[in-house]
């Protein structure tokens, strides 16, 4: 997908609501992403204010710790961290071949492996709720993942995902772009990095109801807009008594939740 096609497909999305949605909600972010696409350079999307506010960590202090943890890991991350310049993300001053966002995504995969013993190349098909712009999936392909990767996201983000991934050498034949999981299916891994914890409850339930997951990679805030996420994710854990679960600390007081079915080879 080239830049012109991206802009045209974004402009054609429905509904075209002119009434501003409440701030700090994904309905508002959707409107702002459309506005950015209409008025700003789409090849510079990493510097759109809405993108920086919602999914770019930049050179945050904790990124140095995550980079050093990856560097010390027995797994090899260097090649996977070499980031395409698509979107113009800010390079790290101490590692100009990558960005804070790329490091952060790779770090999630390392923490998942440390907790569960599963490498991303071995998990089979993946369903990711809220895929950002596709950096986690791109890193996973570079690490040897060859299964199907299904993104479940908002229309604007699905277009951004397709735009980014189609311009960075990813294997597009392995991706699926969906507004929802249409029927119950088995996945080797389901991913929800802060996305499930920020979604309306009906959307969360629809995803987990149709995701027969052999493993989970999740991070969440304990509370979000009045929702008790600790209680909701406790119910997620209770859905499948064949799953082993591990908790871990994540940035900013958030929580990692890793799961692996006990019969997973």
pLDDT digits (tens, 9 = 90+) for 137-177: 999 999 999 999 999 999 999 999 999 999 999 999 999 99
Helices (H), the chain: 3-11, 26-39, 49-54, 61-72, 100-116, 135-142, 155-165, 201-210, 229-238
pLDDT exceeds cutoff 70 at 265: no
CA distance 262 to 245: 10
pLDDT digits (tens, 9 = 90+) for 62-78: 999 999 999 999 888 98
Entry field: residues in the chain:
265
The answer for residues whose C-beta is within 8 angstroms of residue 259's C-beta and 6 or more apart is 116, 213, 215, 216, 218, 237, 240, 243, 244, 245, 246
- When pLDDT is averaged across residues 125-131 and rounded to a whole number, the result is 97
pLDDT digits (tens, 9 = 90+) for 194-216: 999 999 999 999 999 999 999 99
Whether the Cβ atoms of residue 50 and residue 21 lie closer than 8 Å to each other: no
Domain boundaries, the chain: 54-261
Confidence (pLDDT) at 33:
92
pLDDT exceeds cutoff 80 at 25: no
Looking at the chain, the whole-number percentage of residues with pLDDT higher than 90 is 82
Confidence (pLDDT) at 143:
96
Confidence (pLDDT) at 21:
65
Tokens 């119910």 correspond to 235
Mean pLDDT of the chain: 93
CA distance 250 to 239: 23
Beta strands 185-187 and 149-152, pairing class: unpaired
CATH topology of domain 54-261: Rossmann fold (3.40.50)
């Amino acid at each position: 997908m080239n830049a012109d096609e991206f802009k045209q497909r974004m402009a054609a999305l429905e509904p075209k609501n002119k009434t501003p949605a409440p701030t700090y909600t994904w309905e508002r972010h959707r409107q702002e992403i459309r506005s950015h696409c209409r008025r700003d350079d789409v090849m510079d999307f990493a510097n759109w204010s809405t993108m920086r506010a919602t999914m770019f960590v930049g050179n945050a202090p904790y990124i140095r710790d995550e980079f050093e943890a990856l560097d010390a890991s027995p797994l090899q991350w260097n090649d996977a961290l070499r980031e395409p310049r698509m979107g113009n993300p800010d390079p790290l001053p101490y590692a100009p071949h990558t960005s804070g966002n790329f490091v952060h995504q790779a770090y999630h995969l390392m923490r998942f492996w440390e907790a569960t013993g599963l490498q991303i190349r071995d998990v089979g098909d993946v369903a990711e709720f809220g895929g950002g712009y596709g950096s986690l999936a791109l890193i996973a392909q570079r690490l040897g993942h060859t299964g199907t990767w299904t993104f479940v996201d908002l229309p604007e983000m699905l277009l951004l995902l397709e735009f980014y991934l189609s311009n960075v050498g990813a294997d597009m034949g392995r991706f699926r772009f969906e507004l929802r999981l249409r029927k119950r299916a088995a996945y080797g891994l389901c991913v929800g990095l802060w996305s499930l914890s920020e979604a309306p409850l009906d959307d969360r339930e629809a995803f987990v109801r149709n995701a027969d997951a052999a493993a989970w990679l999740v991070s969440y805030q304990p509370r979000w807009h009045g929702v008790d996420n600790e209680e909701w994710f406790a119910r997620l854990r209770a859905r499948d008594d064949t799953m082993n679960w591990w908790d871990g600390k994540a940035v900013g007081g958030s929580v990692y939740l890793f799961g692996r079915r006990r019969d997973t080879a």
